[in-house]
Amino acid sequence: MTVLNIASIEKLSLPGLAHQTLAGPRDGLRSVEVWMQTIAPGAQTPRHRHACEEVIVVLRGSGTCEIDGEVLAFGPGSTIILPASVPHQIANTGADELHVIAALGAAPVTVETPAGERIELPWDQHRFSGQVAAG
């Protein structure tokens, strides 16, 4: 069993998006990853897909989720359920930061464009390192 403090987990980023892998292969998990992401106002994730199911819980903020061409609005307390391999994109349409936690049914998670090309993300290389950065 492992207990980690979120403040001790390294934050990595893309423009407008901060990411922490809360649990995954680094922690010995083989079938699930848990991510926390903060998306700045006006920012969005790349349009992408992965071969596993994903559940996103919205902690704070509001936005839209484009799922396979359909745009759905969400706010605090919303749960977004995404089937495997379906292209999607999360956008922060609010005035405040958007805070979400995502549980993904694979470890490691490979993120791809809708056409199936791999998207290299800054946190990919850190998931296996076993390193946990201090605050």
pLDDT tens-digit map of 82-103: 999 999 999 999 999 999 999 9
pLDDT of residue 132: 35
**Cβ-contact 108, 127 below 8 angstroms:** yes
Residue at 26 is within a domain: yes
Let me know if residue 37 belongs to a domain: yes
Tell whether 131 is covered by a domain: no
β 63-67/88-92 pair status = antiparallel
CB 18 within 8 A of CB 11: yes
| pLDDT at residue 124, as a whole number | 66
- Per the listing, tokens 């549980």 go with 103
Structure tokens at 10: 């390294």
Instruction: Tell me if 132 is assigned to some domain.
Output: no
Question: What is the predicted pLDDT for the residue at 129?
Answer: 45
Q: Specify the pLDDT at position 109.
A: 83
pLDDT confidence of residue 42 = 98
Query: Is 135 part of any domain?
Result: no
Cut 0.75: pTM above it = yes
Domain count, the chain: 1
| Residue ranges, the chain, pLDDT below 50 | 127-135
Q: Is residue 58 in some structural domain?
A: yes
